[in-house]
Amino acid sequence: MATTMFDGIDRIEVYRIPLTTRFRGLDVREGVLLHGEAGWSEFSPFWDYDAEQSRPWFEAAMESATREFPRMERSDVEINATVPAVGPDEAHRIARSFGSATAKVKVAESGSTHKEDQARLEAVRDALGPEAKIRIDANAGWAKSEAVKRIGQLDRAAGGLEYVEQPGRTIADMAWIRSRVDVPIAADESVRLADDPLEVIRKDAADIMILKVQPMGGITRCLQIAEDADVPVVVSSALESSIGIAMGLALATSLPEPPYACGLGTARLLATDVVADPLISGNGRLTSFRQDIDELGLEVVKAPEDVRERWMERLSHYAS
């Protein structure tokens, strides 16, 4: 077995993959693949996270590389279509391409107007039909008074919203907004960036929790949070390769049957992948299994040396 700076890890690879559509301000996704006795895992915090903010992502990767996935309660899960902040024609195409009966639509992004958000939602409703479920993700992009106004307008534009994700910037804002709207509120940043992820529930600031394996520190911690939360949870990705999405699927399939579709369909946003059979669905469902890398495909997306060095320097913060 080869040795690395981490016990139990025998191989480290760094990837760099273009995105098919600009997402979260990114055109390219980068990350690290770790191989251990249990298989491959992923460490891919966004680069605006510093080393300490990235530590839970590393802990999640180490756990999944060195420990078997938990026992599954079912083999597959329903997923939502993920629609970035694009124009209505592109939103229509993306929504239909997933084969899903649920869509999550990005709104309130920098550079996108409210009229554009409305047009995007109307296009997604047209693409999926009247019975589809549509949720929106504001990524804390609104002030609290604006959020109340926009949620009502976008609820009408969408023909009804399933829920709105992270409409406020703080937990106090989220509680204020929740008390003034009829649409259920889901917490993402208020969970994954909090010292105490359950605070948002104790303060009546959310109806639903979004759980992402990497930012939350691993599958085991997510399972404990889901048990303690006593509210529905939605398992979502952090725009990972299929290696990282497999970690999310392992969590989702080990939970009791979720009432909401999972946000694990984002491999479709990558121009290519590090596995031979990417986790891309055409029927709105994904099956959980431990992924292995495709060596030929990995050669195509291996990061250049300067990018690799930057990621290896980040990893060095966690070496004992």
Residue 133 falls in the annotated catalytic set:
no
Nearest partner of 107 among 66, 81, 139, judged by Cα: 139
Query: How far is Cα 59 from Cα 212, in angstroms, rounded to an integer?
Result: 13
Query: How far is Cα 58 from Cα 141, in angstroms, rounded to an integer?
Result: 27
Q: Is 20 exposed, middle or buried (0-12, 13-18, 19+ CB in 10 A)?
A: middle
Residue of 115, 133, 144, 212 marked catalytic: 212
Strands 164-165 and 185-187: parallel
Confirm or deny that 188 is annotated as ligand binding. yes
Confirm or deny that 30 is annotated as ligand binding. no
Residue 106 falls in the annotated catalytic set:
yes
Residue of 106, 115, 144, 203 marked catalytic: 106
Angle between helices 114-128 and 88-97 (to 10 degrees): 40
Query: How far is Cα 217 from Cα 219, in angstroms, rounded to an integer?
Result: 7
DSSP conformational letter for 204: T
Query: How far is Cα 278 from Cα 284, in angstroms, rounded to an integer?
Result: 14
**Residue type (1 letter), 145:** S
Enumerate the known binding-site residues: 137, 165, 188
Catalytic residues: 106, 212
Known binding-site positions for Mg(2+): 137, 165, 188
